[in-house]
Amino acid sequence: MKFKVVLLSHTPEPEKVVATAAKLCYSNTTIENIFERLDDEAVKNFLNFLVEVGHQSPLEHVSFTFGIEGVSRSFTHQLVRHRIASYSQQSQRYVKMDGFDYIIPPNIEEDEELKNIFIETMAQISQAYAILSEKLQKKHFERFKMQGISEKEAFKKAEKMAIEDARYVLPNACETKIIMTMNARELLHFFSERCCNRAQWEIRAVADKILELVKEVAPNIFKFAGPKCIKLGYCPEGKFSCGELERVREKYLGKKREKHEDN
């Protein structure tokens, strides 16, 4: 897969900010005093305490912003269902999609016959898009000229109107770009849903990459992040379970968890 995820920015000292916010709830001293007194060991211990007691609201004070490229519209339709987040996506109304790139699902790409059908279909759609946008642009351009609008302005308006209608033929496979900002609490929820083996392959791959990136800057916050089963010790999907509980837990935790860690 050719997708790319970059951690563009995040709250400075995210774990210290979370620990400060949480400790404030149990302290009568000043906020600055709490922040200054927290060393790395104290932060780690307090974050472990938060995990144990399930106190998650302090996690909302830190956020992470990602640039995500080389993904499909099918992926972003799923991504934006996570509502406690901010998104900015490449617009098909303002960006002309002539010769658009597209994402081929692995199960199609590995089969030569299916891959050829897929590629031929994308080529047909691309041709249809080009014809529609060209003819619509000419139609709108002539109308704007008759209204006395300058050629430069008429061309600009006609192109925008043309591509915003032509885009209706574009497929879910069409490649797109998106910037996403989430707070740490929502990221944990995102991982619990999208790192699961039952999640669609593309969003699962992106979720795994995002988890890898945030663990580098906030390892204590995200050390138990991943699908629900790694903390619960069982799969909550019932008969829909992937049946690979131990392998999944080993993937996200690095080793089998001790029994006391599941309580």
Per-residue pLDDT of the chain (263 residues; tens, 9 = 90+): 589 999 999 999 999 999 999 888 878 889 999 999 899 999 998 898 887 777 899 999 999 999 999 999 999 999 999 999 999 999 999 999 999 999 999 999 999 999 999 999 999 999 999 999 999 999 999 999 899 999 999 999 999 999 999 999 999 999 999 999 999 999 999 999 999 999 999 999 999 999 999 999 999 999 999 999 988 889 998 888 999 999 998 999 885 544 434 43
List the 85-89 sheet strands across, edge first: 4-10, 63-72, 175-183, 85-89
Tokens of 90: 């490449």
CA 67 centroid distance within chain: 9
Q: What is the pLDDT of residue 255?
A: 59
Residues in the chain: 263
Tokens of 125: 């759609």
The pTM for the full model equals: 0.91
Residues 56 and 36: their CA atoms lie apart, in Å, by 22
Instruction: Check if the beta carbon of residue 198 is closer than 8 Å to that of residue 240.
Output: yes
Cα separations (Å) of 15 from 20, 58, 181, 184, 226? 9, 10, 17, 10, 18
Tokens of 95: 């960006």
Q: What is the pLDDT of residue 262?
A: 44
Active site residues: 194
Amino acid at 147: Q
Residues 179 and 84: their CA atoms lie apart, in Å, by 14
Instruction: Check if the beta carbon of residue 68 is closer than 8 Å to that of residue 5.
Output: yes
Q: Which residues contact 47 (CB under 8 A, 6 or more apart)?
A: 15, 18, 19, 220, 221
Q: Which parts of 54-111 fold into alpha helices (H)?
A: 73-79, 106-109
Q: Which parts of 54-103 fold into alpha helices (H)?
A: 73-79
* Through-space distance between the first and last CA atoms of the chain, rounded to whole angstroms: 37
Instruction: Check if the beta carbon of residue 52 is closer than 8 Å to that of residue 151.
Output: no
Q: Which parts of the chain fold into alpha helices (H)?
A: 14-24, 31-37, 40-53, 73-79, 106-109, 112-146, 151-166, 184-194, 201-217, 229-232, 245-253
Give the tens place of pLDDT for each residue, 14-55: 999 999 998 888 788 899 999 998 999 999 988 988 877 778
Residues 42 and 96: their CA atoms lie apart, in Å, by 52
Amino acid at 205: A
Backbone angles phi, psi at 80, to 5 degrees: -75, 0
Determine how many CB atoms are found less than 10 A away from the CB of residue 209: 17
Backbone angles phi, psi at 170, to 5 degrees: -70, 145
Q: What is the pLDDT of residue 127?
A: 97
Q: What is the pLDDT of residue 257?
A: 46
Q: What is the pLDDT of residue 27?
A: 82
Q: What is the pLDDT of residue 2?
A: 84
